[in-house]
Structure 1
Amino acid sequence: MRRAWLVLACLLPAWVQAGVPADNVLAHGARDGATPAWTIAVDTPAGWTRDCCTYARAIGVDAVLYQGEWSGNPQRVMVLNVSARKLPTLAAEVQADRKRYLQHDPAGKVSGFAVRQRAMPCEATVYQGSDHVDDVVVFCDPGEASGIRLSWSMAFDDADSSRHALLDDFMQVVVATRWTRDSATVPPAHGS
């Protein structure tokens, strides 16, 4: 598994060059106190369905990307969460997430790597669960003025034969994600 992540990390620069169309809005949020309205845009890989308002809302997240029909199964679903900045740094956010994970699964294994995202700093964590379900979580920080942090996550069975293709698509989404300030009037796109 570790070798796959090293290979994946080496492939990131090619994805960073990919542009994101301005009309590729996936999710948005209204102004909340000092936090300005925001929009998250991302290019969706072929074969993935975008959802911000039906299944995503039902499970309490900002957006999901999934293949085929929605099954309700958390594996093989890319999940976008946007939240107010609570901790002072991106590193503190990542460390808090790792601590929560290990409290939940003390036998789990944790590794991480930097993500080359052109628009904002991001940091990835790979969780190998004792339940044989692996998770990859990437936290990104669009900057203090944004008032938010965002994360992408995806879970998959550790023996999933399509794991590498799933991770390729996941990282393509992560590095193509763009945050924009004061664009909440743009309706989110879903179903592509």
Structure 2
Amino acid sequence: MSGRTWLALLLCAFAALAQAAGTDDGVLARGARDGNAPAWAISVATPAGWTRDCCTYARAIGVNAVLYQGEWSGKPQRVMVLNVWPRRLPALADEVQADRKRYLQHDPAGKVSGFAVRHPAMPCEASVYQGSDHIDDVLVFCDPGAASGVRLSWSMAFDDADPSRRILLADFMQVVLATRWSADPAVLPAHGG
């Protein structure tokens, strides 16, 4: 699938978001205070038909949370993955460039395109990876601000010929745009805090 086709699909997903009224389902994932970074909570609106998991499958694969439809398959395709990590690089653009560089080192024949995401509460930037393995990934990096001490990302992989791609992308972008970071005083210090 070409970069233009991806962009067209994502624009359709944004249009679908204008019609979708997601509600905030509450906190999906939490993190403990880590050095100067306060304890945090990530809240999202979950599209109908998606299962939220922070503590079973997400932990097993080493991420903060996942959203999936139907039964857990263990395959990365069609799973929304939330990662939150302490900010180390100076800017969001640096995170994006570092990730793109790693991707192309791993798959030199892969293709990368990107676009800005107009998140209402924080700057975000998306990358679309078209793999030589015929698996495409969309990855959105977001920066909740220096005071948060963290950055976060949402990602989702697709078979490049997945007939449900448009619907899945609309759900994915609904989740990305509904994601909210907040300091979470209810989380007890766990990392030497």
The one-letter amino acid paired with 2:184 is D
Q: Please tell me whether the aligned partners of residues 30 and 184 of structure 1 are also in contact (alpha carbons under 8 angstroms).
A: no
Does the aligned pair in 1 maintain the 2:13–2:166 contact within 8 Å? Answer: no
> Among 150, 153, 159, which residue is 1:151 paired with?
153
Q: For 2:40, which of 29, 38, 44 is the aligned residue?
A: 38
So what's the TM-score if we normalise by structure 2?
0.89
Matched-pair identity in %: 76
Distance 2:34 2:40 in 1: 10
4+ aligned runs moved over 6 Å, structure 1? none
Name the CA distance, whole Å, in 2 between partners of 1:120 and 1:14. 21
The answer as to whether partners of 2:86 and 2:150 remain within 8 angstroms in 1 is: yes
Give the superposition deviation at 1:69: 0.5
- Tell me which of 140, 163, 167 is aligned to 1:161: 163
The Cα of 1:28 is off from its aligned counterpart by 0.5
Contact kept? 1:9, 1:115, Cα under 8 Å: no
Distance 1:112-1:122 versus aligned 2 partners, 3 A rule: same
Q: Deviations over 1:109-165 (max 9, x none)?
A: 000011010010000000000000000000000001100000000001001110111
Q: What is the Cα deviation at residue 8 of structure 1?
A: 2.3
Deviates more, 1:143-152 or 1:4-13: 4-13
Contact kept? 1:61, 1:81, Cα under 8 Å = yes
| TM-score, scaled relative to structure 1 | 0.90
Match of 2:179 in 1: 177
The count of aligned residue pairs is: 185
Q: Is the 8 A contact 1:28 1:184 kept in 2?
A: no
**Alignment map for 1:96-107 (pairs within 5 Å):** 96-107=98-109
Amino acid at match of 1:59: I
Unaligned stretches of 5+ residues in structure 1? 187-192
Task: For 2:15 and 2:161, locate their aligned partners in 1 and report how far apart those are by CA, in whole Å.
Answer: 27
Consecutive unaligned residues of structure 2, counting only runs of 5 or more, are 189-193
**Equivalent residue number for residue 88 of structure 2:** 86
